[in-house]
């Protein structure tokens, strides 16, 4: 048998009008165009099974009754187009072939006999000892004769394989005698045979087949290699929620998985097996093992050792996904299966049968460049192994960056992680499509130094990131956790990225109310499925884990969950009832949202924040004097608020009744004159209640700080207590005047504060001399609730006295009897009090002031 394409016609001659044509000239013409047709099929379309030719065993009463073979299309390496056919018309003319049809769904073969290829001696069937491999020919019931037996006699079906064989040879039809040569010539026989052979026969055929060996047929090559998940919850389940964990426990979880996988041994074996068939050098795993082991030394970085192996598994998955499409041959081997096609095992339980020819399509039909992609991905795998770095990454010297990436899909379409050293070669191997389009510089990566200078590549977060559902967060491991948290938060807030952040402490947190921080064990217990993913997806939560090592609080790991959890979903809020308060005022409550939020002042000084029974108060008494008259601001859970307050120092204001004009004959008016002693008296607000009925009158002091009020028809038997509330900058002082009206009121003017310590009257007239004195306790306990001072007035004559008491210094108290000889002091508060008594001689108008009388009030526990 001669293969048609073993010798190709490359030229032919055109015929001229009236030319006598030799058979060689005519055959040259036929050979040229047939060869071109065959070459076009093989080189521009491909070889192998295009479709169909699927066997199905038919049984009757439990016995094999037939082998049905579906219609199909196949191309041999000699360019023969094979399809099943059946006779449609039997030729009645001598030496003319019967007509065939291919319009059939299938053919059922019911009989068989041993097949002898003596007519052709097809080289592929040679068993190597000048004999022939075992072969049986299958025929339909219509084609069978007495030489055939039924297929139920075909034994050992498990060891049987199907073949299509185009029996091709030349046959001399009739010798040419005399001058009549019209019917003579050489007939080209083409018989399509369905043959059965054994596993031994198939192996002999495969030895001479340079097309069929392909990575796809490597055992288990299509099974993906997956790295075991590292789920933080397992540590809690194994060790218990009450067991404190350390970074060594986290490291052990990852190192166990990595070492159990043999550092990705199955991945390396699969890649190297594929590489061997494609003629690509193998990748050295030992060097990679050493690099991974070095990642286990520091307290941070072991998660990236896990990541890089997972990356290698992803690259392997990309290869496996396109491997079935990579049956591409630029120059098919013409001698691999020139006249036969392997249809596979008769009884097969595998989807990809290495004894069944695939279709090796021409590269011109390979729109996806599958074979090139496989080779490029194997090259990337090698570079990933070689360019994995750890020193800079794991020593905490990296800069924190957030890079948009993708959650799913092939690794090629994701941003390049920061633990790869990027070179031009590495960039070109990362994404086949970008490299094919000469745009490898348009990948996204942590290290953008070799990328395009376009702004959307150098600063991708400033542009549309709708196609990016994931954010790589890198460079934080090994850093102080507070710095890492603030930097990640700052980038997130500035770029308006849709994820949240949590800080997890491996040590238990006592009375923690910071909603951005949690105890690792408790958080993992409440939120199972926490995994390290080198970042976080949109609408997810990124958790950084830190460990306390002396004063060192550094990030040792990171995890994420695919939903926002447990940090405030709205802004925190904080309010106070007032924005100004006095130092002597009582504490006032904060209104906090969320209710369990932690309130702190934005200062290192004592700023008055007080926690009482889980309720926050502002206590002005606790404020450091350096903060007086300064604006104090606050945070809730570390977040700033608009709440502020200013503390002003309490100042005692002294107001005295200096004159009283009682009603005279025919008058119903009683006029009282007051005076404020303070220099800044005009800065205060004065609210007066003259009748003691709650009706307030706001008055401003007149010249020299005087107030005047006239009572009409005042009943001497029902004298109201005059009250005045004095306010300034949040400080309020309440002053009362009681017993200020004399039962027998004179019709003269009584002058008080305007007097001096000397006699009021000048001249040569001799006037009586009066004195004033005070008696009372010098120390009083607050438990006694009140104390009394006795006033003494003496005169050289017989006189009636008017007494006027004044508190010069001390906290606010209630004074009763300010115009009587005995003063009662109630509502005591701890502090030092100074009192003064003025005694007026009614008859002479002369007065005297006592020396200042000091009373110390102390509390019970002193």
Q: Measuring CA to CA, how many Å separate 96 from each of 296, 506, 588, 604, 846?
A: 81, 92, 116, 111, 164
Q: Give the torsion through C-alpha atoms of 209, 211, 216, 217, to 10 deg.
A: 0
Regarding beta strands 853-858 and 779-781, do their DSSP bridges make them parallel or antiparallel, or are they unpaired?
parallel
Helix pair angle (285-295, 370-387), 10° resolution: 50
Residue 451 lies inside a defined structural domain of this protein: no
Which of 212-216, 291-295, 615-619, 784-788 has the largest mean confidence? 615-619
**Omega before residue 65 within 30° of 0, cis:** no
**The pLDDT of residue 746:** 40
Instruction: Clarify whether residues 586 and 705 are in a common domain.
Output: no
Instruction: Clarify whether residues 659 and 639 are in a common domain.
Output: no
**The pLDDT of residue 805:** 84
Q: Is 8 helix (H, G, I), strand (E, B) or coil?
A: coil
**The pLDDT of residue 844:** 67
Cα torsion angle, 232, 237, 242, 245, sign? negative
Average pLDDT of span 618-632? 93
**The pLDDT of residue 768:** 62
**The pLDDT of residue 444:** 95
pLDDT tops 50 at residue 91: yes
Residue 581 lies inside a defined structural domain of this protein: yes
pLDDT tops 50 at residue 744: no
**The pLDDT of residue 757:** 36
Banded pLDDT at 437 (limits 50, 70, 90)? very high
Banded pLDDT at 760 (limits 50, 70, 90)? very low
Of 314 and 27, the one with more pLDDT: 314
CA distance 289 to 309: 11
80 burial type by CB count under 10 A (0-12 exposed, 13-18 middle, 19+ buried)? buried
Tokens found for residue 825 = 């002091």
Q: Which of 37-46, 89-98, 635-644 has the lowest mean pLDDT?
A: 89-98
pLDDT tops 50 at residue 751: no
**The pLDDT of residue 295:** 86
Q: Which residues pair with 735 in a beta bridge?
A: 724
Query: pLDDT tens-digit profile of 468-507?
Result: 999 999 999 988 998 999 999 999 989 999 899 999 999 9
Q: Is 317 helix (H, G, I), strand (E, B) or coil?
A: helix
| CATH code for position 599 | 2.60.40
pLDDT tops 50 at residue 432: yes
Residue 635 lies inside a defined structural domain of this protein: yes
**The pLDDT of residue 7:** 82
Instruction: Clarify whether residues 626 and 715 are in a common domain.
Output: no
Rounded to the nearest 5 percent, the helix, strand and coil shares of the chain are 25, 35, 45
Residue 306 lies inside a defined structural domain of this protein: no
**The pLDDT of residue 854:** 92
Banded pLDDT at 845 (limits 50, 70, 90)? low
**The pLDDT of residue 809:** 86
Residue 848 lies inside a defined structural domain of this protein: yes
Residue at which a domain ends, from 706, 725, 750: 750
Residue 505 lies inside a defined structural domain of this protein: no
**The pLDDT of residue 747:** 37
Banded pLDDT at 764 (limits 50, 70, 90)? very low
Q: Which of 184-198, 232-246, 557-571 has the lowest mean pLDDT?
A: 557-571
Instruction: Clarify whether residues 68 and 11 are in a common domain.
Output: yes
Name the average pLDDT for the chain. Answer: 86
Question: Which residues in 606-618 are b (16+ Cβ under 10 Å) and which e?
Answer: ebbbeeeeeebbb
Query: pLDDT tens-digit profile of 162-198?
Result: 999 999 887 766 655 555 565 566 777 889 999 999 9
Q: Which residues have CB under 8 Å from 304's CB, separation 6+?
A: 295, 390, 393, 394, 417, 419, 477, 534
Residue 553 lies inside a defined structural domain of this protein: no
Instruction: Clarify whether residues 672 and 742 are in a common domain.
Output: yes
Residue at which a domain ends, from 620, 648, 676: 648
Average pLDDT of span 816-830? 87
Query: pLDDT tens-digit profile of 661-706?
Result: 888 777 788 889 899 988 888 888 999 999 888 888 899 898 888 8
Among left, alpha and beta (phi > 0; psi -120 to 50; other), residue 85 is beta
How does DSSP classify residue 480?
B
DSSP assignment of 655-670: EEEEEEE---TT--EE
Cα torsion angle, 491, 494, 496, 500, sign? positive
**Which domain, by its residues, includes 2?**
1-208+338-362
Instruction: Clarify whether residues 26 and 139 are in a common domain.
Output: yes
CB 501 within 8 A of CB 544: yes
Residue 418 lies inside a defined structural domain of this protein: no
Identify the CA nearest to 38 among candidates 126, 213, 137, 168.
168
pLDDT tops 50 at residue 374: yes
**The pLDDT of residue 755:** 33
Identify the CA nearest to 202 among candidates 153, 167, 168, 159.
159
Instruction: Clarify whether residues 143 and 45 are in a common domain.
Output: yes
pLDDT tops 70 at residue 394: no
The percent of residues above 70 in pLDDT, for the chain, comes to: 91
Tokens found for residue 474 = 């890198």
Instruction: Clarify whether residues 720 and 787 are in a common domain.
Output: no
CB 263 within 8 A of CB 309: yes
Instruction: Clarify whether residues 781 and 860 are in a common domain.
Output: yes
Q: Which residues pair with 360 in a beta bridge?
A: 47
pLDDT tops 70 at residue 396: no
pLDDT tops 80 at residue 97: no
Banded pLDDT at 714 (limits 50, 70, 90)? confident
CA distance 261 to 268: 11
The percent of residues above 90 in pLDDT, for the chain, comes to: 48
Average pLDDT of span 151-164? 94
Q: Report pTM.
A: 0.63
Q: Is 735 helix (H, G, I), strand (E, B) or coil?
A: strand
CA distance 467 to 857: 75
Residue at which a domain ends, from 597, 627, 648: 648
Instruction: Clarify whether residues 35 and 161 are in a common domain.
Output: yes
**The pLDDT of residue 765:** 41
| CATH code for position 785 | 2.60.40.10
Query: pLDDT tens-digit profile of 765-808?
Result: 445 677 888 899 989 888 888 999 999 888 876 667 888 888 88
Residue 227: count of CB within 10 angstroms of its CB:
20
How does DSSP classify residue 531?
B
DSSP assignment of 82-145: E---EEEE---STT-PPEEE---SEEEE-EEEE---TTT--GGGB-SSSSB---EEEE-TTT--
Instruction: Clarify whether residues 623 and 727 are in a common domain.
Output: no
174 burial type by CB count under 10 A (0-12 exposed, 13-18 middle, 19+ buried)? middle
Q: Is 681 helix (H, G, I), strand (E, B) or coil?
A: helix
CA distance 36 to 21: 22
Q: Which residues pair with 727 in a beta bridge?
A: 685, 732
Residue 772: count of CB within 10 angstroms of its CB:
21
773 burial type by CB count under 10 A (0-12 exposed, 13-18 middle, 19+ buried)? middle
CA distance 91 to 9: 32
DSSP assignment of 760-824: S--SS-----EEEEEE--SEEEGGG-EEEEEEEEEESS---EEEEEEEEESS--EEE-TTSSEEE
Instruction: Clarify whether residues 736 and 767 are in a common domain.
Output: no
Structural domains of the chain, count: 4
Tokens 């040229």: give the residue: 32
**The pLDDT of residue 184:** 60
Residue 713: count of CB within 10 angstroms of its CB:
8
**The pLDDT of residue 766:** 46
Q: Is 208 helix (H, G, I), strand (E, B) or coil?
A: coil
pLDDT tops 90 at residue 452: yes
Helix pair angle (265-278, 370-387), 10° resolution: 130
């Amino acid at each position: 048998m001669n293969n048609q394409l073993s010798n190709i016609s490359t030229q032919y001659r055109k015929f001229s009008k009236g030319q006598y044509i030799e058979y060689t000239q005519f055959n040259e013409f036929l050979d040229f165009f047939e060869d071109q047709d065959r070459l076009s099929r093989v080189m521009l379309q491909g070889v192998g099974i295009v479709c169909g030719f699927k066997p199905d065993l038919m049984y009757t009463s439990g016995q094999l009754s037939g082998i049905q073979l579906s219609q199909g299309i196949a191309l041999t390496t000699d360019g023969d187009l094979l399809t099943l056919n059946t006779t449609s018309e039997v030729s009645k003319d001598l030496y003319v072939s019967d007509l065939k049809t291919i319009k059939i769904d299938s053919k059922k073969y019911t009989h068989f006999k041993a097949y002898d290829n003596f007519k052709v001696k097809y080289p592929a069937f040679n068993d190597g000892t000048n004999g022939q491999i075992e072969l049986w020919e299958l025929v339909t019931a219509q084609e069978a004769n007495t030489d055939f037996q039924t297929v139920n006699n075909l034994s050992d079906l498990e060891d049987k394989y199907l073949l299509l064989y185009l029996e091709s040879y030349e046959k001399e039809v009739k010798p040419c005698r005399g001058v009549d040569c019209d019917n003579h010539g050489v007939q080209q026989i083409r018989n399509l045979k369905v043959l059965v052979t054994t596993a031994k026969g198939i192996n002999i055929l495969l030895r001479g087949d340079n097309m069929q060996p392909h990575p796809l047929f490597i055992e288990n090559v299509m099974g993906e290699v997956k790295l075991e998940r590292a789920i933080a919850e397992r540590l809690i389940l194994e060790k218990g929620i009450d067991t404190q964990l350390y970074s060594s426990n986290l490291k052990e979880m990852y190192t166990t998985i990595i070492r159990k996988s043999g550092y990705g041994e199955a991945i390396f074996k699969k890649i190297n097996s594929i590489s061997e068939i494609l003629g690509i050098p193998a990748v050295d795993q030992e060097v990679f093992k050493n690099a991974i082991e070095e990642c286990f030394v520091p307290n941070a970085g072991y998660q990236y050792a896990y990541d890089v192996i997972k990356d290698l598994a992803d690259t392997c998955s990309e290869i496996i996904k396109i491997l079935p499409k990579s049956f591409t041959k630029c120059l098919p081997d013409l001698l691999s299966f020139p006249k036969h096609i392997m249809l596979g095992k008769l009884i097969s339980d595998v989807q990809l049968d290495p004894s069944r020819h695939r279709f090796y399509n021409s590269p011109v039909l390979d729109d996806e460049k599958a074979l090139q992609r496989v080779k490029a991905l194997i090259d990337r795998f090698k570079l990933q192994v070689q360019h994995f770095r750890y020193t800079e990454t794991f020593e905490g010297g990296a800069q924190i960056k957030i890079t948009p990436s993708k959650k799913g899909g092939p690794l090629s379409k994701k941003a390049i992680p920061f633990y790869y050293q990027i070179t031009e070669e590495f960039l070109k191997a990362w994404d086949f499509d970008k490299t094919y389009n000469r745009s490898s510089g348009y990948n996204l990566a942590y290290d953008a130094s070799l990328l395009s200078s376009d702004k959307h590549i150098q600063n991708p977060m400033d542009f549309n990131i709708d196609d990016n559902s994931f954010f790589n967060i890198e460079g934080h491991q090994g850093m102080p956790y507070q710095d890492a948290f603030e930097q990640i938060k700052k980038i997130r807030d500035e770029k308006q990225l849709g994820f949240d952040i949590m800080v997890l402490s491996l040590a238990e947190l006592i009375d923690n109310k910071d909603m951005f921080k949690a105890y690792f064990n408790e958080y993992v217990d409440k939120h199972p499925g926490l995994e390290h993913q080198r970042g976080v997806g949109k609408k997810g939560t990124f958790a950084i884990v830190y460990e306390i090592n002396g004063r060192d609080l550094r990030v040792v790991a990171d995890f994420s969950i695919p939903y926002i959890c447990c940090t405030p979903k709205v802004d925190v809020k904080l309010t106070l009832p007032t924005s100004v308060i006095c130092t002597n005022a009582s504490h006032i409550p904060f209104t906090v949202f969320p209710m369990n939020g932690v309130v702190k002042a934005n200062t290192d000084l004592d700023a008055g924040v007080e926690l009482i029974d889980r309720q926050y108060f502002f206590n002005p008494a606790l404020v450091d004097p350096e903060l007086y008259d300064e604006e104090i601001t606050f945070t809730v859970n570390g977040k700033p608020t608009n709440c502020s307050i200013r503390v002003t120092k309490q100042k005692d204001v002294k107001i005295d009744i200096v004159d009283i004009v009682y009603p005279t004959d025919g008058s119903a008016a009683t006029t009282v004159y007051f005076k404020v002693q303070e220099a800044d008296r005009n800065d205060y607000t004065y609210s007066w209640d003259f009748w003691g009925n709650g009706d307030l009158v706001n008055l401003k002091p007149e010249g020299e700080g005087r107030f005047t009020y006239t009572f009409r028809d005042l009943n001497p038997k029902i004298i109201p207590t005059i009250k005045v509330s004095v306010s300034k900058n949040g400080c309020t002082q309440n002053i009362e005047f009681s017993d200020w009206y004399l039962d027998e009121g004179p019709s003269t003017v009584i002058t008080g504060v305007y007097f001096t310590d000397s006699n009021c009257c000048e001249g040569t007239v001799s006037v009586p001399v009066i004195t004033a004195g005070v008696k009372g306790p010098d120390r009083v306990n607050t438990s006694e609730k009140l104390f009394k001072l006795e006033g003494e007035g003496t005169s050289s004559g017989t006189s009636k006295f008017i007494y006027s008491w004044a508190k010069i210094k001390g906290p606010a108290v209630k004074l009763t009897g300010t115009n009587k000889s005995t003063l009662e002091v109630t509502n005591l508060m701890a502090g030092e009090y100074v009192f003064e008594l003025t005694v007026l001689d009614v008859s002479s108008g002369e007065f005297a002031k006592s020396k200042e009388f000091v009373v110390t009030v102390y509390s019970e526990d002193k």
